[in-house]
Structure 1
Amino acid sequence: MSGPTRLHELTALEQAAAVRKGEVGVVELVRHHLARVEQFDERYGAFVTRTPEAALSEAAALQDRLHGSALCGVPTAVKDLVDTAGVPTTYGSKAFADHVPTVDAHSVTRMRAAGTISLGKTNTPEFGCCCYTDNDLVGPARNPWDPELSAGGSSGGAAVAVALGLVPVAHASDGGGSIRIPASVCGLFGIKPSRGRVSSGPAGAEVTGLSVQGPLSRTVRDAAALLDVLAGPEPGDPHGAAPLPDGETFLGHADRSPGRLRIGRYATPAAEGLTVDPACLAAWEHASRLLEELGHVVEDMPTPFGPEITEHFVTAWSVQSLGHPLDAGREALLRPVTRAWREYGRGVSGEQFAAAVTGMQRAARRAIVATRPYDVVLTPTLATLPRAVEYFDESGDPLVNLHRQSAFSAFTSPYNMTGQPAVGLPLYWTEGDHLPVGVSLVGRPADEATLIALSAQLEEAAPWRDRYARLPVS
C-alpha cells in the first residue's frame, strides 16, 4: 500500500481493502481526503457544501462496525441536485440556499448503508440545466487539467472531486450528458445507467424520463462497485430496468471477458449545423482501432437519430426546468439561462409537451431498432474540446449561451431519450497529454454488464490511471 500521504492515489476498492485489512483507519482515510478538499476546493470549485464534522463522526462510528461491503469506509460525495437529510441541498441555486431536506434520496440511503462516507455536496449548475457547472453560490467548477477551462456539467463538481483525488468515486446524475460530458473533459470513467436502474425517489420527479443517477470514477471497477450500491428498484418507481441474474454483480462483470463483439460507430451528430472537432474525431478513431486490435468487429453505421429530436428535447427540457415551483421573489434570484429555460417552458402548451414526449419515444424506438444488430455503439462524447469558463458567461443573450452548449450534448442527449446505458472512457489525450478527450460506448437496453466488461478490457489494454499523478496541481 502507498504511504499515508498518497492514500488518495488508491482506487476506492483499494481503499476499502486497506480498511478491511487494518492498514488504514476510516478516520485517517477521511481526514486525508478532507485535507485535500481544503487544499484544492477553493481553486477548483468541487463542492457547494462541505460536511467535515459529519464525515468524521460517521467515520468514527463506522470504524467499530465495519462490514463486508466492497466500498465500506470509502470517502465519497453526493451531487447537490439530490436530497441529503440534514444537509443543505441547494440544487445549485440561490433560491434554495436555505433548503435543508428532512429525508434522504434513496441513492443517499443506499450509499450510507454500503459504508461510504460523504464529504459534502458537489457543485452543479442551477437545477442541473446546463452542460457546464457554474452558479451564484460558489462559482464555477474548473477543469483539473487546466483551471482556465470549464469542468463540464452538470456533474462538474463530482468530476473535479474525483479527478483531483478529493474522493475516489462520486455520485453523479445525467439528464442530457451530465455524467459523460464532465467525464470526457476531466479524463474520467462514468456510467449513465439505464432508465429505471437507479431510483430517483422518494422526491425525484420523472416528468420526461431523461435523468438518471450513476457513478463517476477513475477506474471501471470503482464505478461498477458504486453502481452495485445504487442500483435497484424502490416502491413506486415509474420505471424499472431488468435486474442482473441472481448472484451476479456489475463489479463481477468488470472481471469478465466481453467476448467478441459487433460494434457500430458513427460520428455525425443528429443536430444540424455542428462540426465535430478534429481532436474528438481522433479520439473516436483511436478507440475504433483499439477495439479492432482487441478482436472486436467495428462497422460504420448511419446516425440513428434525425434532426427533429433537437426540438423534442428542448421542449421537454424546458418543461422539466419548471420542476421547482417558486414565488416571484425567489424566481428573481435565478440565473439568466435558468430563467430563459423556465420562461420557454411556461409557453409550452400541454399539446406541445405531449407531442415532444411522444416524438422522443418514437425516435427512441427507431434508434433502438436501428442499433439492434450491434452489441455496442461507439460515438465521440463531445463535438468540441473543453471551453474557457468565460465562454458560458450568462450576462448576454441566453440564446447565444444555449447555442454554445449544443456541441457538448449533441452525442449524449439522444441516449437519455432512449434510456439506454452509456459510458464515457478516457482513452485519448491531446498532444503532450494536455487535455483528455473522451469517447462514449452505448449498450443495448438494460445491458450495463456488457459495457462494463468491454470498458474494463479497454482499461487493461490502454490504462489511464497513472495519468492522474501528472495533474498540474501542487
Structure 2
Amino acid sequence: MIIHELSALDLARAIASGEVSAAEVLAHTRSRIDACPEVGAFAHVTADRADREARAADQRVEEGAPLPFDGVPLPIKDATAVAGEPWEQGAAILVGNVAEEDEGVVTLLAEAGTVMVGKTTAPEFSFPAYTEPEIGPPARTPWDVRRTAGGSSGGAAAAVAAGIVPAAHGSDGGGSLRIPSACCGTVGFKASRGVVSPGPRGVSGSGLTTHGVITRTVEDSAALLDVLAHPWPGETYHPPRDAVLERAGSYLAASRQSTGLLKVGLLLDPLNVDDVDLHPDAEEAALRLAGTLESLGHSVRTVHRPFTPRDWEAFMPLWTSAAAAIPLTAEDEGNVTELTRWLREQGKRLSATDLGSAVNAVQALTRKAALGWADVDVILSPTLSGPPAFPGELKLPDGGEDFEAQKRFTPWASTWNLTGNASISLPVHRAVVDGVELPFGAMLGAVKPGGDALLLSLASDVEKADPWPSIREPMASAG
C-alpha cells in the first residue's frame, strides 16, 4: 500500500481497519509536503491541530467507533477561517491575521474525522483565476511547475494532483474549484446553490460562491459532498429538489448508480466574450468526453449560447461590489494588487440602481439559459480555452486587462455560478504542448436546478469508461 496513491475513501477504510494509523498517514503526508515544494500548495502547515486530530482519530479507531473519514488528511483553503490558525487570504495587508473561530465547513469536515494538515495557497481575496499570492509561494500545476495551478483554489488542486493529500477543501465563486482542477488534472465539483451552506455565521450574499472539495475521484467528491451538504439555521438559499438524490439516499450512493440515458448539449461558444482562441486540445477534451458519453448510450448534439456576452456582464456588478465591500483603510488601499484595486474601483462606481439591475439581469440570464437549453439535460464544454497558462499570460500590470485575460482563459465556468446550477470539471484529456504533457479538462453543467446527484452519477460512469491518471509527481515532465 502506497499511502499517497489512495483515494480519500480507500484511505479512510485502511485507517478504520487498522491497516495504517492516522499518525502514520500524517507523517507520510508531511513527507509529501516536504517533497513537493515546487507546487506551492501550502500557505501554512498546521502542525499542532493536525497532531491533535490524528491522535483523536486513532483513539476512535482503537475504540471501534471510527468516523467516516477518520485520519484522512484534508487541508482548508486559506480564504476560509480555522480557529487559532493563520487567515491571511493571500493578502500582504493580512499577514499575521489569525482566525478566532472555525467556519461551518471546517466544523463539518472535522466532525467527519478529517485531519486539517494546513491552509492551502490562495490568491488575494480569492478573486483571480490564478494563484499568485502577494505572500508565500505561487501555486503551480505539478504537470509543469512553470505554469499556474489555476485559481482561486490553486493550492488545493496542486496538493491533490501532486499526491500530497487525496482531497482538499476549496471554494468556487466564478470557477475556482473547476479552473484549478482543469490546470492540475483533478476533479472539481461545484454544487448547486443552497446545497453547501456558508453557515452558521457566514452569509450567501449574491449567491455566486459555494464551498466544495477538489479530489482525484468522483466517488470522493460525492462522499465529501455528503459531509458538506448540511443546513444551518437561518438559510437564505435552500437546496433545490434533487430527484436522483432522493432515490439514491446519498450523493455517494448516487455516484455508484448509473443514470438513465441523457441528452447532452455540446457547447463550444464562449459565454462571457464574443469569441475566443480555442486551443485544439481544449476542444479535444470536450470532444473526447462527448465520445465517451455517446459510447455509454447518451445522445450528444451541438448547442449554442442562449444569451449574449453582454447578458453575462451582469456578473460584473456582483463581483466588483464584493471587492468594494472589503473593509480597507486608506493605507491598505495602497497595498493590494492591481486587480483588487481595479475591481474595487469598479464596484465603488456602482449605484443602488446598478446593483439592483444586475440582480435582475442575472435572473433574466438564468431564464434564457433554462429556455435555450430546455431540450437537453446537461451542457458539455471545455473547462478552459487552453492549457494551464504561464503566470505572465494572466497576471497583468493593468487590472482591467488582467480581468479580460482571465475571461478569455475561462469563458464558461462562471455561468454556472450565475445560474446556481451544479457543474463539474473532469480531467479527461492530456496532450503534449511545447514538449510537455499537460492536462485538459472538460466540464459538465446541469441545465436544471437539483442536478448534483445526476452529474456525479454521470461523471462516475465517465471515470469508469475513460479513467484518468491519479497523481502527477512535480517536475516529472517539466524538465
TM-score surpassing 0.5? yes
CA distance in 1 between partners of 2:155 and 2:460 (Å): 25
Match of 2:47 among 52, 57, 76: 52
Structure-1 residue corresponding to 2:399: 398
Structure-2 residue corresponding to 1:251: 252
CA distance in 2 between partners of 1:254 and 1:69 (Å): 21
Unaligned ranges ≥5, structure 1? none
CA distance in 2 between partners of 1:98 and 1:249 (Å): 40
CA distance in 2 between partners of 1:311 and 1:289 (Å): 33
1:42-85 CA-to-partner distances (Å, cap 9, x unmatched) read: x2111111102220121012211134443221001111111111
Structure-2 residue corresponding to 1:140: 138
Q: TM-score scaled to structure 1, two decimals? A: 0.95
Structure-2 residue corresponding to 1:389: 391
1:290-439 → structure 2 map (5 Å cutoff): 290-394=292-396, 396-431=397-432, 434-439=437-442
The one-letter code matched in structure 1 to 2:4 is H
Secondary structure of 1:334 counterpart: coil
CA distance in 2 between partners of 1:310 and 1:329 (Å): 34
Deviation of 1:392 (Å): 3.0
CA RMSD of aligned residues (A): 1.8
Deviates most, 135-144 or 151-160: 135-144
Secondary structure of 1:405 counterpart: helix
Match of 1:99 among 97, 100, 123: 97
1:76-107 CA-to-partner distances (Å, cap 9, x unmatched) read: 11111111111111122122222222221110
Deviation of 1:307 (Å): 1.5
Deviation of 1:201 (Å): 2.2
Secondary structure of 1:425 counterpart: strand
Q: TM-score scaled to structure 2, two decimals? A: 0.94
Q: Measured at CA, do residues 302 and 179 of structure 1 come closer, stay the same or move farther in structure 2, by a change above 3 Å?
A: same
Structure-1 residue corresponding to 2:161: 163
Q: Measured at CA, do residues 205 and 168 of structure 1 come closer, stay the same or move farther in structure 2, by a change above 3 Å?
A: same
The one-letter code matched in structure 1 to 2:53 is E
CA distance in 2 between partners of 1:118 and 1:470 (Å): 23
The one-letter code matched in structure 1 to 2:466 is A
The one-letter code matched in structure 2 to 1:438 is G
1:239 aligns with 2:237: yes
Matched-pair contact (CA < 8 Å) for 1:95–1:331: no
CA distance in 2 between partners of 1:133 and 1:361 (Å): 30
Q: Measured at CA, do residues 422 and 71 of structure 1 come closer, stay the same or move farther in structure 2, by a change above 3 Å?
A: same
1:372-404 CA-to-partner distances (Å, cap 9, x unmatched) read: 32221111111122111232344x222221221
Matched-pair contact (CA < 8 Å) for 1:34–1:52: no
Matched-pair contact (CA < 8 Å) for 1:76–1:168: yes
CA distance in 2 between partners of 1:230 and 1:68 (Å): 18
Matched-pair contact (CA < 8 Å) for 2:60–2:66: no
1:312-358 CA-to-partner distances (Å, cap 9, x unmatched) read: 11222110113321111222221111111111111111111111121
Structure-1 residue corresponding to 2:21: 25
Secondary structure of 1:292 counterpart: helix
CA distance in 1 between partners of 2:84 and 2:473 (Å): 35
CA distance in 2 between partners of 1:22 and 1:433 (Å): 40
Unaligned ranges ≥5, structure 2? none
Matched-pair contact (CA < 8 Å) for 1:37–1:166: yes
Among the aligned pairs, what percent are the same residue? Answer: 37
Q: Measured at CA, do residues 58 and 70 of structure 1 come closer, stay the same or move farther in structure 2, by a change above 3 Å?
A: closer
CA distance in 1 between partners of 2:56 and 2:364 (Å): 51
Secondary structure of 1:406 counterpart: helix
CA distance in 1 between partners of 2:370 and 2:212 (Å): 22
The one-letter code matched in structure 2 to 1:87 is E
How many pairs were matched up?
A: 468
1:400-432 CA-to-partner distances (Å, cap 9, x unmatched) read: 212211123310111100000000001111138
Matched-pair contact (CA < 8 Å) for 2:267–2:305: yes
1:149 aligns with 2:147: yes
Structure-2 residue corresponding to 1:65: 60
Structure-2 residue corresponding to 1:450: 454
Deviates most, 242-251 or 93-102: 242-251
1:158-178 CA-to-partner distances (Å, cap 9, x unmatched) read: 000100111100111111111
